[in-house]
Amino acid sequence: MIYNIVHQLVDTMSVFNVVRYITFRSMAALLSALAISLMLSPWFIKKLKGRQIGQQVRNDGPQSHFSKAGTPTMGGGLILVATILPALLWMDWMNPHLWLVTVLTLGYGLIGFMDDYLKVSKKNTKGLSSRKKLIGQFVIASVICSIHYSIYQNSTLHFPFFKEWIIDLGWLYIPFTVFVIVGASNAVNLTDGLDGLAIGPTMTTAGCFLILAYVGGNIKFSEYLQLHYLKDTGELAIFCAALIGAGMGFLWYNTYPAQVFMGDVGSLPL
């Protein structure tokens, strides 16, 4: 949003020219997300405790996990807020990737919220059935991937640093990308079991994607590093930076002994 507003003022006030750079907006998004996460977490945790939204622990789990029963969960909702707000603030609103990633994240977050809500309200660990969760994930991912393909008309698979290696997936492009999205979502969901375990790898992965998005979206860098130039992907570096900032703030309260857990509302969209 700021980019779209300031972009109109660059010609008259050169001081705003810095906002045009993805590197500046990525750092601004990271710091904004970190500030939102750190400032709102104490209030958010207090609200969760007040509503008795606590973690449900499986009876067949490790003995050490029993002490975590009652710890506020659904903290992932704050991660989503702290990620999406700075992304909307600093990314280019004319970039389709902003809306595709935002809708995908919110859609998976809604599935996770429904699962967490059922667990908390019914005081058990079952929540939403695995079948219903998978159906929801596949439907949302299929819609997003179909829209993405209709916009960019690109079904090729590229390998970093090997520019000549190209695989045209053809009609398999959408099923393949859907499988990757659903698989990654459930991988993070399964990882979330110990204090700080899921958010750490998530931030590391987001950092890697930040670099790939920035380099792949820059025609000069991509050519120099023998990478394929991917139109509009540079803006995704800002989203990744916001996710890292939100994760850093959440980790402060999620590290041992955890004061809050992200729940499925956080692990599924991440």
Alpha-carbon torsion 166, 105, 20, 209, what sign? negative
State the Cα–Cα distance between residues 264 and 125, nearest whole angstrom: 12
The residue-averaged pLDDT of 29-49 equals: 91
Greatest mean pLDDT among 115-124, 166-175, 194-203:
166-175
Supply the pLDDT for residue 192: 73
Lowest mean pLDDT among 9-13, 31-35, 96-100, 145-149: 9-13
Greatest mean pLDDT among 37-46, 61-70, 188-197, 216-225:
37-46
Long-range pairs for 221-230: beta carbons < 8 A, 24 or more residues apart: 225/161, 226/161, 226/162, 226/163, 227/158, 227/160, 227/161, 227/163, 228/158, 228/163, 228/166
Percent of the chain beyond pLDDT 70?
A: 86
Q: Which residue has the higher pLDDT, 12 or 129?
A: 129
Dihedrals phi, psi of 90, to nearest 5 degrees:
-110, -15
State the Cα–Cα distance between residues 144 and 182, nearest whole angstrom: 12
| Amino acid, single-letter form, for residue 92 | D
pLDDT band at residue 12, thresholds of 50, 70 and 90?
A: low
The residue-averaged pLDDT of 92-117 equals: 93
